[in-house]
Structure 1
Amino acid sequence: MRRKLVVGNWKMHLTRDEAASLVGALQENFVETDAEVGVCPAYLSIGIVRRIMEGAPIALGAQDVFWLDQGAFTGQVSASMLRDAGVTMCLVGHSETRGRFGKLDVPESTVGYFAETDETVNLKIKALLKHGVAPILCVGETLEEREADRTDSVIQSQLRGALAGIAEFKNGVVAYEPVWAIGTGKTCDASEASRVCGVVRAALRDILGAQADSVRILYGGSVNAGNAKELFSQKDI
């Protein structure tokens, strides 16, 4: 049976002190659960969050990774560095690193800075698997793609590209995050979210075979205390 997973992506929020305060409050108010819980702080907060969470049933994640172990790649962080820092899971292919924004907070002319592709996502997944860090592969469609009835084909294409040449997606996770629902306050209807997660499962079976049934599929996009229970009750989420 697949264990439920809840992961908080803190994005580019919180100073080190603020991150320490938040994770301290999370520990203090943590309710014992059968679900696995993880947080993905900004790089600079990983160390202090790890120290405060030591011994707690909360996994430490990162928000991105570079695919080579070392080299002249200014500003990048490798999978081996993340592993050394205590990270056990890492987001890859998030719509924001792909330059696909539901709510655009930067000038449109600068979106090209965020240039993630299926090929780079694939390289990052391979690097994470090599170093024993669980990839959380993010997929999702824009509002324009949804309105053009391309949701399923876009997600299937993203999965095929990201998992090309990967025989074993060990401990890997897929997160379905409709771009139009991220940070906008809009949430995909629970039944539709479940349907799309079923599309993800079927595509994973085509790509990975029987091991696809053990892959956990998350839903992300304006999830909150009011809608989480209904989303969690869906078959493939």
Structure 2
Amino acid sequence: MMQAPKLIAGNWKMNGLAADLAEVSLLVDSLSKAAVNCRVALCPPSTLIARMAETADGSIVEIGGQDCSAEAKGAFTGDTSAAMLADAGATLVIVGHSERRQGHGEDDATVAAKAEAASKAGLAPIVCVGETLQQRETGQAVEVVRRQVMQSLPLALSGQSFAVAYEPVWAIGTGLTPTLAQIEEVHRAVRRAMIERLGLGVAVVPILYGGSVKPDNAAEILAVPEVGGALVGGASLKAADFLAIIRAA
């Protein structure tokens, strides 16, 4: 079966002001002069989506949101609907990031509802799953991630564009990474669970690795079987670092 292009997605988290769009311009200029074999996306704070989409217009860089509401519209002060993200220029959205699960109490059902809302609005959700350090140390990593996949992917995603991102919670922003064997084990488990949940049609859906991906470890991680890209945090804020990861794909 043909392998889909890898997806390298940058998650800016709660970072970025208008001045930081200069880094996006630099990235766009650099990509225009380079042969790139992967998809590239940036997910800035919602305040920058429209301006970043304008900056990236005409380039290969796709723009995404970092979260969306499960609701289409209504009296939900402070929330942003998937349709609003699309209206601002987004084509993707991250849902279920560990910082939302851990810090905002989002469970699998909430993540599934958000993923379905995103897909209905024409956005491709990047559905995040991953275990805590305690779960890893007690041998529960594969089962925890399998359960999250089964419960966080709505059946409505069958035949639609989406991605799954495996991000071990204990590796995010810590500089720690699992071994390559651990990454492969979990990615294979994710693929099996995706197929069990949604059928063989998801055999080419990319499974991204996220968790302290940097220029100096990107190539070896991206070469691991079933790793279909990367969800990059801090290293996506600087064009030079992000470009090095893109080139590693």
Say yes or no: TM over 0.5.
Answer: yes
Deviation at 1:14, TM superposition (A): 1.5
Report the AA paired with residue 191 of structure 2.
R
Q: Which has the larger share of helix?
A: 2
Deviation readout 1:103-130 (Å, 9 max, x if unpaired) = xxxxxxxx4xx12111110111111111
TM-score (norm 1): 0.91
Q: Distance between the aligned counterparts of 1:166 and 1:148, measured in 2?
A: 33
Q: Distance between the aligned counterparts of 2:18 and 2:149, measured in 1?
A: 34
Partner of 2:18: 16
Query: Residues 11 and 166 from structure 1, CA distance in 2 versus in 1: closer, same or farther, beyond 3 angstroms?
Result: same
Instruction: Please say if 1:37 is aligned against 2:78.
Output: no
Deviation at 1:48, TM superposition (A): 1.1
- Equivalence map 1:78-227=2 (5 Å): 78-99=81-102, 111=103, 114-166=104-156, 168=158, 170-227=160-217
Report the AA paired with residue 12 of structure 2.
W
Q: Distance between the aligned counterparts of 1:14 and 1:79, measured in 2?
A: 21
Deviation at 1:165, TM superposition (A): 3.7
Report the AA paired with residue 29 of structure 2.
E
Gap regions ≥5 residues in structure 1: 100-110
Partner of 1:5: 7
Report the AA paired with residue 22 of structure 2.
S
Partner of 1:57: 60
Q: Is residue 3–residue 34 contact of structure 1 (8 Å, CA) maintained in 2? A: yes
Judge which range, 165-174 or 152-161, deviates more: 165-174
Deviation at 1:194, TM superposition (A): 1.5
Q: Distance between the aligned counterparts of 1:120 and 1:171, measured in 2?
A: 19
Query: Residues 214 and 52 from structure 1, CA distance in 2 versus in 1: closer, same or farther, beyond 3 angstroms?
Result: same
Aligned pairs, number: 223
Q: Which has the higher contact order (CA 8 A, sep 6+)?
A: 2
Q: Distance between the aligned counterparts of 1:187 and 1:41, measured in 2?
A: 24
User: Secondary structure in 2 aligned to 1:200?
Assistant: helix
Partner of 2:238: none
RMSD between aligned residues? 1.2
Q: Is residue 16–residue 44 contact of structure 1 (8 Å, CA) maintained in 2? A: no
Q: Distance between the aligned counterparts of 2:188 and 2:62, measured in 1?
A: 26
User: Secondary structure in 2 aligned to 1:97?
Assistant: helix
Partner of 1:104: none
Q: Distance between the aligned counterparts of 1:32 and 1:165, measured in 2?
A: 36
Identity among equivalent positions (%) equals 39
Gap regions ≥5 residues in structure 2: 228-249
Deviation at 1:167, TM superposition (A): 5.6
Partner of 1:28: 29
TM-score (norm 2): 0.87
